[in-house]
Structure 1
Amino acid sequence: MLPTIEQRLAAELAARPAQVAAAIALLDEGATVPFIARYRKEATGGLDDIQLRLLEERLRYLRELEDRRAAIVASINEQGKMTPALLDSIMHAEDKTRLEDLYLPYKQKRRTKAQIAIEAGLAPLAEGLLADPSLHPETEAAKFLREAFTTSDGNNPGVADTKAALDGARQILMERFAEDANLVQSLREYVQDHGVVDSKVIEGKQEEGEKFADYFDYSEPLANVPSHRALALMRGRREGILDVTLRLDTEAEKPKWDAPPNPCESRIAAKFGIKSAGRPADKWLGDTVRWTWRVKSFMHLETELMGALRDKAEADAIGVFATNLKALLLAAPAGPRATMGLDPGLRTGVKVAVVDTTGKVVETATVYPHQPRNDWEGTLHTLGLLAAKHQVSLISIGNGTASRETDKLAQDLIKRHAELKMQKIVVSEAGASVYSASEFASKELPDMDVSLRGAVSIARRLQDPLAELVKIDPKSIGVGQYQHDVSQSQLARTLDAVVEDCVNAVGVDVNTASAPLLARVSGLSSTVAQSIVTYRDAKGAFTSRAALKAVPRLGDKTFEQAAGFLRVMNGDNPLDASAVHPESYPLVQKILADIGKDIKAVIGAGAVLKTLSPARYADDKFGVPTVTDILKELEKPGRDPRPEFTTATFKDGVEDVADLRPDMILEGVVTNVAAFGAFVDIGVHQDGLVHISALSNTFVKDPHTVVKAGQVVKVKVLEVDVKRKRIALTMRLTDSAPAAGTRPEQRADRNDRRAMGQQHKSQARDPAPGGSMAAAFAKLRG
């Protein structure tokens, strides 16, 4: 028998079956991944959140597999066609593909040509010619002529002549050959290894599909196509620009009918003992093999393997999106500092919102420093008054239209009011407009114009990126590529898991958190989160975690899941501000009694805590892992896993792509990381691209191992295409810009050129593939 689900998951996770079984039981009881990872280490043997997320995803797949297996067994039994050998094969099928291969001959389908031929009595003719090729096909076929007739399934044309008989017999054999599970798997493996993806531009679509130019005459082995190229091809095909096909590497063009058998045709022939030996039926059988391959097997495999390529590409793209989102959510917060948010604009003006240290909006305005009004001085006066009145410490500037002009405005403001010691930072405004028009924004800022809400979001996301960005659909934050081309349900599920993990890793202040932030806490639904806010507004701040139990619809199970991730600052019990779960408070009291100190004397006392042995306090309920976590938390209660706040400084005088020059060294912020490199904002309204080969002096397989979204980096300009707004950068500062006049083909191989895709511009929009500039700087290996 196939190993159990627990055993299979244990092998995949390199864990013990008992660990997996415990994790599955907890998930089935409604426990969340953050809760299990943080507070049930003894039960799972210390499985971390990454392992648990994989377990959760694979558990869903394997349970669906078992449900499908049971349905297939029931269907074949009902047909009376189950055999011990078939049952054994079904019970040992390790994935859905193998299971469906085995079920194919028994799958209920519409009345096929083969079934009609069998009704007409042609099965003996098919079996006879296959078993004895020395028979003459036409002679044998003449024995099976029959008038048209009617069956319970419909009319049957009968067998009018020998041609009809042989055609019917061929259909029977073709269906049999194409539904042999072992043969299908053999052919699938061959095509996976020897398939080539081709794409051609559809005639007349060259101009309309210019962004897909790199795929107008494209060819690459199926096994080598990376996710971003696969998604670009799929998009081009979906938009009616590209004709994308699959072929064998042995067939550069569509083979003629009398061509020698290809490797797959040879496999089909060998499986059924068909060969060319000069016998009367050999040619007919050989043609049947060719028909099987071209009309049935290859068409089926092309659909399946191109679908698998798409699925893998989607999974990779979703993984990249998730990694980038996690980096952005866990970006360093500026903290509780009065902040002025500037949402840049030209004709419509710059929207201004000042928020206090808690993120509360204290004043808004609209100023017009840029064209057409050019009220620079009036704007500086207005902003100066706001900054002084509210003791502004930070200026947060959106990175959209007129961002650099507004950045210069902020610089002038800082110079004029040096006494305030303000800092300016350009932040991504991706999703700000989505938030502004959202239902939550309407409730949170009901009396504020939609255009000003964006400035509020820009200010708050500098204070605490995580707290602000959770108000926005993760798909609108703009750190993914081809996000509209992937499974939206899978994308949403993955991104929601990332947000949940990030929120719970940081912890949430229950007295200041918004409902959307609370809704991401382990165990809390949107309804319960809103109940907490409503109760807080009516009764005042919570003074303890225990007080949460009075919130309507927040029961014991919900409290167990959520309490450890909720913080009550300056409450009745100092432990309520830490990650120590309330269920562990008795253990803390035991430790305190043992060392003869109160909680206030122990919290933060690293010298004392480091002398304590976790094993001394472990018991049947709380093992060494939990005690160890508690001691670490007491040493640094409520510690924030996010890095220290740092900012990038854009170079003065470099405000547009046209201002860039080769060999310039600039500071920038990583905005997005893809499989082929990283996009960096260097303050010119257009992100530059650091190709994967230019990220480091050593080989880089995955860009995420070198950079992450939000990271401040130094880069050198290698090449600029002002017209197409493309910027090639390198993080290897010893690299030199390519010599003028060097042809792209001398600097980049074809596949790397295609890997580049179109230069990333708006983070809220997917980049389109292709472009000749990609060739100019894709391969920068020095």
Structure 2
Amino acid sequence: MNISQIIATELGAQETQIQAAITLLDEGATVPFIARYRKEMTGGLDDTQLRTLADRLQYLRELLERKATVLKSIEEQGKLTPELAQQIEDCDNKTALEDLYLPYKPKRRTKAQIARENGLQDLADTLFRQPETDPETFAQSFLNEQVPDIKSALDGARAILMEQFAEDAELIGRLREKLWHEAEIHAQVIDGQQETGEKFKDYFDHREAIARMPSHRALAILRGRNEGVLQAALKYQPDETPITEQSEYEKIIAQHFGLQDKNRPADKWLRDTVRLTWRAKIFLSLELEAFSKLKELADTDAITVFAKNLKDLLLAAPAGRLPTLGLDPGYRNGVKCAVVSDTGKLLDTVIVYLHQENNMLQTLSALIKKHSVKLIAIGNGTASRETDKVAGELLKLLPNMGLHKIVVSEAGASIYSASELAAAEFPDLDVSLRGAVSIARRLQDPLAELVKIDPKSIGVGQYQHDVNQSALAKSLDAVVEDCVNAVGVDVNTASAPLLARISGLNQTLAKNIVAYRDEHGAFPNRKTLLKVPRLGEKTFEQAAGFLRVLGGTEPLDASAVHPEAYPVVAKMLAKQGITAQELIGKRELISQIKAVDFIDERFGLPTIMDILAELEKPNRDPRGEFKIASFAEGVNEISDLEVGMILEGVVSNVANFGAFVDIGVHQDGLVHISALSNRFVSDPREVVKAGDVVKVKVLEVDAARKRIALSMRLDDDKTIEKSGEKRDFRQPEKSSRQNNPREKQPQNSAMADAFAKLKR
């Protein structure tokens, strides 16, 4: 197996690119480092391609190891033929390999093995090859102490044939493929669970092709089954089909083994054997496989959605280095308040109460004046609207302070508050007040604060607790790593959790950097990092380009130019006859530099162009411009909404079927994919991403089920029919879509009911 060739074909890249990337990964290089600083070697493979490459590399290497194990096992049994060995070598996936290995795989004694021990192999072979033989008459000659009667003899022979049929790799592969593309999942409510399983009402009687079932519906049905509310089964033929009628799958088995019903003595017995093989053996196994595959695909899809949303959230535009007041809303326990400086240092804390509004206004006004607060960050949890209203009064009371109030997601703030990290950072601060600090900081710099929280606790995924947790953690960790390295960090202000996400670093090295900084003061340049305990040349190579030293002794240390490329910049400066300070940020001077003049055996055009771009805009932040959403006044609860209202909100989550928007009423509304734009949309992320500020129109409100249907097509007058009839609010047509029935949305789409089937 040529692994690099296989991956190259899958990624549409050259084999030399893949080989270079594999070599770098094997040497310990990280994906961010390879993507940013080894473009010449990999031909410019980006971080997404490199992540895919790394996953496929692991899979294919595991496949090679498994092949070796299988070949050794079969050879030790003395059953390995050149043909079988070649079939095993040709396998390109683990499923096909296990199909081939199944007949030789050590297993507990089966009915077929016992039948063979009892001398019934010849009976099975004769009835299979010579159907003109009368089963009962011929079976009499096989009776003995272990086989007392004809029925026992024929049952044993049938068990042998059923095992042989069910272990035919080619047949199983064909049936598996056919079942996956043709079968439907039928979900039904379990009697007596109608009331307790109300949240699964959309699936009380639901049928859908398994191959076309979206991940959110698949995970919902699987969750309902796990909770004992739903029963789910795979249906491969219409319910009205007589049980005695031979299915298409049984016909395939018969044809595969050349069995035909010509009314010969053994034909009926063989036909029954085929039926039992399919219904009692093969189908049950393939049904389990199908559900497992559905879960795996749904997990992958859901994890991808979570990862994309997390990336959008982490790369949300920072409000900037401004003194900020964080408010963690609450009724009984009060509103926890924390003021942090422009660098995120905790300055002051207090707890105020909403029912004492005058006192709350006075206390917060004093805090704002004392610390020259510019931003007010309000957590979006319980009592956030009431707290936001008070913040609005503060803006009116202090018109000259230049205040801005922003409602931010507080997802994960409580997790951070009770963490060891928070305890180490604020050992003397009450747990409840730590959340307010986190809320304030995540407005200043979402990335720097959110890296302190387990990504799974940030809450931008769908069915995140149902998916494969190790795969989820791996994917989210990769997202965090890519985001942190894409932005870069100031080595003299970054926290240990943030530094730990830098290429080449880990928690121990991050703590060592902070400890060195605390003892010796700010790092004057990148080279000083080599004095940090356990930070060697290899680690420095991986990390240096992503660590910034602002205002240090080396101007280039404030940029993403890697120290290994400093000689290239030195040549540019020598040719221009100027210093680095005179060149950095000067677009006209940089435009005069010809990149081709500085290409050598180590640094090619991609790296030179990156250097010039960085010199033009040193330490540029890839994140967008910070925007503030203005929630409508007087719209605080779901009961305040009216059909036709046009509101402003923040996209809180994006799924494959649409986007959820926070419009300030404690319940996010859904903009279905069909209502995102006047054009056809195949992926909601083409239009929106988490954190975007958007305008939406209220289409329908179901207060009882806490569902709000919204639209971003503000000029569309069509709303959902309250009579229960099918809505006339369709996804704009795409020409190729009309001829592709696979892309049509099922009319009983459960998640679309949040948009299409709401009832008052």
TM over 0.5: yes
Could you tell me how far apart the structure 1 residues matched to 2:324 and 2:208 are? 52
Q: What is the CA deviation profile of residues 613-636 of structure 1, one whole-angstrom value per residue up to 9, with x for unaligned ones?
A: 211101001111111111110010
Q: Secondary structure at the match of 1:640?
A: coil
Q: Which runs of 5+ in 2 are unaligned?
A: 731-743
Q: What is the CA deviation profile of residues 157-176 of structure 1, one whole-angstrom value per residue up to 9, with x for unaligned ones?
A: x2111111110000000000
Contact 1:104 1:179 in 2 (8 A): yes
Contact 2:323 2:372 in 1 (8 A): yes
Asked if residue 680 in structure 1 is aligned to residue 668 in structure 2, the reply is: no
Contact 2:720 2:728 in 1 (8 A): no
Q: Which moved more, 1:216-225 or 1:492-501?
A: 216-225
For 1:720, the equivalent position in structure 2 comes to 701
Contact 2:720 2:756 in 1 (8 A): no
Asked if residue 91 in structure 1 is aligned to residue 89 in structure 2, the reply is: yes
**1:251 pairs with 238, 241, 246, which one?**
238
Task: Map residues 513-662 of structure 1 onto 2, 5 A cutoff.
Answer: 513-662=494-643
**2:76 pairs with 56, 75, 78, which one?**
78
* Length, aligned pairs only: 746
Contact 2:481 2:503 in 1 (8 A): yes
Could you tell me how far apart the structure 1 residues matched to 2:564 and 2:109 are? 63
Q: What is the CA deviation profile of residues 77-97 of structure 1, one whole-angstrom value per residue up to 9, with x for unaligned ones?
A: 111101111111110011011
Q: How far did 1:756 drift?
A: 5.2
For 1:264, the equivalent position in structure 2 comes to 249
Could you tell me how far apart the structure 2 residues matched to 1:115 and 1:210 are? 49
Task: Map residues 408-487 of structure 1 onto 2, 5 A cutoff.
Answer: 408-487=389-468
Q: Secondary structure at the match of 2:92?
A: coil
Q: Which moved more, 1:168-177 or 1:717-726?
A: 717-726
The 1:461–1:756 alpha-carbon spacing in structure 2 relative to 1, beyond 3 Å, is farther
Asked if residue 127 in structure 1 is aligned to residue 125 in structure 2, the reply is: yes
Q: How far did 1:39 drift?
A: 0.4
Asked if residue 273 in structure 1 is aligned to residue 261 in structure 2, the reply is: no
Task: Map residues 285-296 of structure 1 onto 2, 5 A cutoff.
Answer: 285-296=270-281
Could you tell me how far apart the structure 1 residues matched to 2:471 and 2:478 are? 11
Q: Secondary structure at the match of 1:622?
A: coil
Task: Map residues 709-748 of structure 1 onto 2, 5 A cutoff.
Answer: 709-736=690-717, 738=719, 741-746=722-727
Q: How far did 1:128 drift?
A: 0.5
Task: Map residues 178-327 of structure 1 onto 2, 5 A cutoff.
Answer: 178-248=166-236, 250-252=237-239, 255-256=242-243, 259-327=244-312
For 2:348, the equivalent position in structure 1 comes to 363
The 1:348–1:29 alpha-carbon spacing in structure 2 relative to 1, beyond 3 Å, is same
Q: How far did 1:741 drift?
A: 3.7
The two structures, once aligned, show a CA RMSD in angstroms of 1.5
Contact 1:510 1:518 in 2 (8 A): yes
AA aligned to 1:218 is H
AA aligned to 2:167 is E
Q: What is the CA deviation profile of residues 202-236 of structure 1, one whole-angstrom value per residue up to 9, with x for unaligned ones?
A: 11111111111111111111112111010011101
Could you tell me how far apart the structure 1 residues matched to 2:658 and 2:45 are? 31
For 1:345, the equivalent position in structure 2 comes to 330
Asked if residue 506 in structure 1 is aligned to residue 487 in structure 2, the reply is: yes
Task: Map residues 680-719 of structure 1 onto 2, 5 A cutoff.
Answer: 680-719=661-700
Could you tell me how far apart the structure 2 residues matched to 1:29 and 1:624 are? 24
Asked if residue 169 in structure 1 is aligned to residue 154 in structure 2, the reply is: no
Q: Secondary structure at the match of 1:246?
A: strand
Q: Secondary structure at the match of 2:400?
A: helix
Q: Secondary structure at the match of 1:484?
A: coil
Q: How far did 1:538 drift?
A: 1.0
Could you tell me how far apart the structure 2 residues matched to 1:773 and 1:637 are? 47
Q: How far did 1:590 drift?
A: 1.2
Could you tell me how far apart the structure 2 residues matched to 1:438 and 1:272 are? 63
Q: Which moved more, 1:696-705 or 1:310-319?
A: 696-705
* TM-score using structure 1 length: 0.94
Q: What is the CA deviation profile of residues 548-583 of structure 1, one whole-angstrom value per residue up to 9, with x for unaligned ones?
A: 111111111111100000000100001001000011
Contact 2:250 2:278 in 1 (8 A): yes
For 1:152, the equivalent position in structure 2 comes to none
For 1:761, the equivalent position in structure 2 comes to none
The 1:357–1:264 alpha-carbon spacing in structure 2 relative to 1, beyond 3 Å, is same
Q: How far did 1:746 drift?
A: 5.0
Q: Secondary structure at the match of 1:418?
A: coil
For 1:765, the equivalent position in structure 2 comes to none
Could you tell me how far apart the structure 1 residues matched to 2:747 and 2:443 are? 36
For 2:356, the equivalent position in structure 1 comes to 375
Contact 1:676 1:755 in 2 (8 A): no
Contact 1:753 1:775 in 2 (8 A): no
Asked if residue 395 in structure 1 is aligned to residue 395 in structure 2, the reply is: no
The 1:739–1:314 alpha-carbon spacing in structure 2 relative to 1, beyond 3 Å, is closer
Contact 2:699 2:720 in 1 (8 A): no
Contact 1:504 1:522 in 2 (8 A): yes
For 2:15, the equivalent position in structure 1 comes to 17
Q: How far did 1:748 drift?
A: 8.2
Could you tell me how far apart the structure 1 residues matched to 2:57 and 2:721 are? 56
The 1:705–1:739 alpha-carbon spacing in structure 2 relative to 1, beyond 3 Å, is closer
Could you tell me how far apart the structure 2 residues matched to 1:352 and 1:406 are? 11
AA aligned to 2:405 is K
AA aligned to 1:194 is E
Q: Secondary structure at the match of 2:502?
A: coil
Contact 2:632 2:647 in 1 (8 A): yes
For 1:115, the equivalent position in structure 2 comes to 113
Q: How far did 1:254 drift?
A: 7.5
AA aligned to 2:649 is G
For 1:150, the equivalent position in structure 2 comes to none
Could you tell me how far apart the structure 2 residues matched to 1:341 and 1:181 are? 62
Could you tell me how far apart the structure 2 residues matched to 1:470 and 1:533 are? 16
After the TM superposition, which parts of structure 1 deviate over 3 Å for at least 4 consecutive aligned residues? 744-757, 772-775
Could you tell me how far apart the structure 2 residues matched to 1:131 and 1:563 are? 73
The 1:746–1:513 alpha-carbon spacing in structure 2 relative to 1, beyond 3 Å, is closer
Q: Secondary structure at the match of 2:390?
A: helix
Q: Secondary structure at the match of 1:419?
A: coil
AA aligned to 1:56 is A
Contact 2:708 2:754 in 1 (8 A): no
Could you tell me how far apart the structure 2 residues matched to 1:639 and 1:255 are? 70
Could you tell me how far apart the structure 1 residues matched to 2:232 and 2:729 are? 24
Contact 1:330 1:465 in 2 (8 A): yes
Contact 1:754 1:774 in 2 (8 A): no
Q: Secondary structure at the match of 2:465?
A: helix
Could you tell me how far apart the structure 2 residues matched to 1:720 and 1:746 are? 15
Q: Secondary structure at the match of 2:525?
A: coil
Could you tell me how far apart the structure 2 residues matched to 1:252 and 1:589 are? 77
Q: How far did 1:124 drift?
A: 0.7
The 1:756–1:281 alpha-carbon spacing in structure 2 relative to 1, beyond 3 Å, is closer
For 1:61, the equivalent position in structure 2 comes to 59
**2:650 pairs with 665, 669, 692, which one?**
669
The 1:508–1:436 alpha-carbon spacing in structure 2 relative to 1, beyond 3 Å, is same
For 1:154, the equivalent position in structure 2 comes to none
Q: How far did 1:738 drift?
A: 2.6
AA aligned to 2:433 is L
Q: Which moved more, 1:742-751 or 1:481-490?
A: 742-751
Q: How far did 1:777 drift?
A: 5.7
* TM-score using structure 2 length: 0.97
